[in-house]
Amino acid sequence: MSSCFDPWLTGVEALDAIVAAQGTHAGLAARRQRRLAALLDAAVRGSPFYRERLRGARPESLEGIEPVRKRELMRNFDTWVTDARLQLRDLRAFVADASTVGQAWGDAFVVWESSGSSGEPGIFVQDARAMAVYDALEACRRMPRWFDPWYVGERIAFVGATRGHFASTVTAQRLRRLNPAMAANLSEVSFLQPTPALVRQLNELAPTIVSTYPTAAVLLAEEAAAGRLRISPAEVWTGGETLTAGMRRRIERQFGSKVINSYGASEFLALAWQCRCGALHLNSDWAILEPVDEHLHPVPPGVASYTALLTNLANHVQPIIRYDLGDRVLMHRHPCACGSPLPVIDVQGRCDEMLVLCGRNGAPVRLLPLALTTVLEDEGGVFDFQLVQVAPNALRLSVGGDEAVLARARTALLAFLREHGLAQVRVSAICGRERVHGRTGKLQRVLAQSRDASVVAAGPRARQPTPNIS
């Protein structure tokens, strides 16, 4: 079955990725300008939504184009896309079917869904050309490995959500279809299961590479320190959340392995990669990232943004032009010591917190924030929510919805707590949009409430980047 893989096109893009990464700033700028002009032309010709949006805009510039958000695009989905075959109703049915994860829709498109962290889940479509660009960037920049490009000599374990059409899950299944030799060495381990079961599964797999989220990697490091997790991965790949320097040190010190971080999103799978100096380099020949303040005005290099606007130069079938990602980005003023002409960025993406609750006999039970949000989204069917720990054995769940939505979300959460031996934990639930802001000042959906946290009216949402597994 097709996985939207064009080997010739991927080879062409891989060669270009190698040449551009060794080239000059002028060379990157020229590529970016050509690709922007082609994207804007494709959007005007094929997307009724963007034909109106770009009216009066310059044909090769983003200047003056009004930014967009996920909610607006999803509400105009059928006129947003440039291929009339893509209809939101059909794609929603496709992603609702767990048996189709990793399969191509219509034998022509790769489809995945994003989290609903903004209160609006998204569906993103890529054609063979976009996938060729992502594959090339992943293979030639993020993790170049010329002696074993398909990692057939490794045992890779992805620890995350193993159900649903999320980018990481779709990518894993797609890799299996593309290379059966790799399939036997690539395992998916659900982080929704209780920690003891997760540890047992990883001990049995004995992976040489673990791909997961930073908070999950920290949890695994703690289990290893306690002597329960007995694995020795040579590398730990992280993404999808903010990786702090302290988290990196904790993971590397415990496993004695290298942490390789990346930055990706459902809207662009391979945004940035980590070089040998540990810096994140933006793939600026294929992605334009504009750091802006709360009024969507540009901020200078060296200043952390309020959010960032993404323009995806690879995807013409679903144009993403000045799209509000919700991530805070800082562009470095100076080039990296590694010599790459690609700009260095710092990113503060998902900043939800791990919860530590009192289990049986007072033993601490750690719950990963992404596991909790996955349960509330997939099982509870709610996307506009916040979960705050208010005591060692008490949580407060607030939901932007009616009583029926609230009851469904609370039921799903209680079932998850019982599975983790936390049946005694109290869950108070309210309908409303009051939200707690944590230490970062950014709105969080899962929060271990600190003393200085304050309740405020719901503010801007934070879109979450997506971890890459390939």
Angle at 465 between CA 19 and CA 343, to 5 degrees: 35
CATH number of 7-348: 3.40.50.12780
Provide φ and ψ at 291, rounded to 5°: -70, 130
Q: 7-21 vs 25-46: helix axis angle to the nearest 10?
A: 140
Q: What is the CA radius of gyration of the chain?
A: 22
Find where tokens 């459902």 sit: 266
Q: 245-255 vs 214-225: helix axis angle to the nearest 10?
A: 40
418, 402 in Cβ contact below 8 A? Answer: no
- Would you state the pLDDT for residue 149? 64
CATH architecture designation of domain 355-457: 2-Layer Sandwich (3.30)
Helix, strand, or coil here: 394? Answer: strand
Distance CA 233, CA 254 (A): 11
Two structure tokens written together for 429: 């639930």
- Would you state the pLDDT for residue 438? 54
- Would you state the pLDDT for residue 178? 83
Helix, strand, or coil here: 337? Answer: coil
- Would you state the pLDDT for residue 400? 84
Distance CA 106, CA 110 (A): 9
- In the predicted model, residues of the chain with pLDDT beneath 50 are 1, 439-441, 450-470
Distance CA 262, CA 239 (A): 5
For residue 277, count other CB atoms closer than 10 A to its CB: 12
Structural domain boundaries in the chain: 7-348, 355-457
Helix, strand, or coil here: 266? Answer: coil
Provide the edge-to-edge strand list for the sheet that holds 156-160. 186-190, 156-160, 209-212, 235-238, 258-265, 268-274, 280-282, 344-348, 328-331
